[in-house]
Amino acid sequence: MGKKKPLVIVTRKLPDVVETRMRELFDARLNEDDRPMSQADLVAALQTADVLVPTITDRIDAAVIAQAGPDLRLIANFGTGVDHIDVEAASARNITVTNTLGVLTEDTADMTMALMLAVPRRLVEGAKVAASGSWPGWSPTWMLGNRIAGKRLGIIGMGRIGQAVARRAKAFGMSIHYHNRRRLSATVEDGLEATYWESLDQMLARMDVVSVHCPRTPATYHLLSARRLKLMRAGAYLVNTARGEIVDEATLIKLIESGAIAGAGLDVFEHEPAINPKLRKLADAGKVVLLPHMGSATLEGRIDMGEKVIVNIRNFMDGHRPPDRVLPTAV
C-alpha cells in the first residue's frame, strides 16, 4: 500500500488536463461547475483539506485562516499575486503558501502591449465602426490616434513582467524608463536600454505612457495616489495589468474626465469584478479600454499554472521546499 494521497481541495474549475493529473496524484476535490465558493464553503474546505488550491476570487484573510483545520499544511495558489491571502497569518499557523511564479509573464506582457496600443491607436473604437456596417470610408483626417514609437514608457515595478514589457516596448521603438525598489544590474539595464528613476514622482512627470507591474502589497496600495497621478503629463496614458488597488481609481477617472490624463488601458479594477460606471462611460467615449482581468488568460498559461501548482504540492508533500514558496517578508 502506498502513502495516503493528500486531500487537495480546488476552489475553481481548472483546465481538464490539470484536473485529470490532479485526480491521478491526489485525493482531489474539484469544482466541476466552477461555482465560486462562499466564505462558509471556503472555511469548510480549509477545515478538511490537507492542501487548498485557491485563486484570486477567494478571500483568505486572517479570520478565515484562524478557522483552518489541523491537517491544512499548504495553500498552493493558482496564480501569481497573493494579495487575497494573508500570508503572514498563514505562516504564523505554520501553513506554507506557494504561487505560480514566472509562467504568466509573457502572456501578461502581451496583454499590456495590446492595451498600450489599443488606447492611443483607438483600436476598440475602430473595431466598433467596422463591425457596425457604418464605416464611411477612408479619410486622411479620420480616426487619428497617437503614435507610440519614440515615446517614453515608465514602468513601475521591474520584475519579470516589467522586464518582459520593456523588451516588447523597446521593439516598438519606445524609450524605456523604470522605477523599482531595487535597481537592476548594469548588464540587465544595458540590455533593455532602460533608464532607472529612483524617484517615482520625477519619472511620472516625464512619461508619455506609464505601466504598472508591481505586486499589490500594503506598501503599493494607492502607490499611484491622487498626488502622484496629478504629476502625470497631459497627453499621457496609464496602463494597469497588475492590481486595481495600486491606483487611486476615483482620481484617475476625474483626471481622464477633465483631460488632465489622455486615457488608460485597464485590465484590473479597484473593486473588481465591479467596474465603476464612470469608467464604462469613458470607455464609450473612447478614452479608456477596459478588459475583465484577462492578462494571463491563455490556455497554455492556465495549463502551465496548473502544472506549477502540482509541482509545488508534490514537492511539499515529499518533504522538500516547494519551488514557489511565498515568504511573508515578500508581501
**Where does this chain bind ligand O=CC(=O)O (CB under 6 A)?**
56, 79-81, 104, 296
Quickly list DSSP for 192-233: HTEEE-S-HHHHHTT-SEEEE-S---GGGTTSB-HHHHTTS-
Do 214 and 243 form a contact (C-beta atoms < 8 A)?
no
What is the DSSP-derived secondary structure letter of residue 3? P
Cβ-based neighbour number of residue 189 at 10 Å: 17
Q: Which is nearer to ligand O=CC(=O)O, 36 or 173 (CB)?
A: 36
CB of 216 to ligand O=CC(=O)O, least distance (A): 9
Q: Which is nearer to ligand O=CC(=O)O, 80 or 96 (CB)?
A: 80
- Is 213 a catalytic site residue? no
Q: Which is nearer to ligand O=CC(=O)O, 103 or 224 (CB)?
A: 103
Catalytic residue among 189, 272, 314, 325: 272
Dmax over CA atoms of the chain, in Å, equals 76
Whole-angstrom Cα distance, residue 286 to residue 195?
31
Grid coordinates representing 285 are 467615449
Catalytic residue among 243, 249, 270, 302: 243
Name which of 85, 41, 96 is nearest 63 in CA terms.
85
Range 258-289 burial, b when 16+ CB lie within 10 A, else e? eebbbbbbbbbbbebeebbebbeebbeebbbb
CB of 39 to ligand O=CC(=O)O, least distance (A): 21
CB of 80 to ligand O=CC(=O)O, least distance (A): 4
Whole-angstrom Cα distance, residue 104 to residue 115?
17
Q: Which is nearer to ligand O=CC(=O)O, 80 or 220 (CB)?
A: 80
Q: Which is nearer to ligand O=CC(=O)O, 174 or 313 (CB)?
A: 313
Catalytic residue among 21, 122, 216, 293: 293
Q: Which is nearer to ligand O=CC(=O)O, 6 or 79 (CB)?
A: 79
CB of 273 to ligand O=CC(=O)O, least distance (A): 13
- Is 249 a catalytic site residue? no
Whole-angstrom Cα distance, residue 284 to residue 277?
11
CB of 109 to ligand O=CC(=O)O, least distance (A): 13
What is the DSSP-derived secondary structure letter of residue 83? T
CB of 234 to ligand O=CC(=O)O, least distance (A): 31
Q: Catalytic residue numbers? A: 243, 272, 293
